[in-house]
């Protein structure tokens, strides 16, 4: 796995977490 792919995956995961947090609060 390349570093770029890992960063893209992490950013996508962060977006999902952020959306979940905004829905909870």
pLDDT in the model for residue 2: 84
What pLDDT does 1 receive? 60
- pLDDT number for residue 25: 74
Cα dihedral sign, 20-23-24-25: positive
The full set of domain ranges for the chain reads: 1-25
Eight-state DSSP code of residue 1: -
pLDDT in tens, 1-25: 688 999 999 999 999 999 999 998 7
DSSP code, position 19:
H
Per-residue DSSP letter, 13: H
């Amino acid at each position: 796995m390349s570093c770029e792919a890992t960063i893209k995956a992490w950013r996508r995961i962060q977006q999902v977490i952020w959306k979940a947090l905004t829905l909870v609060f």
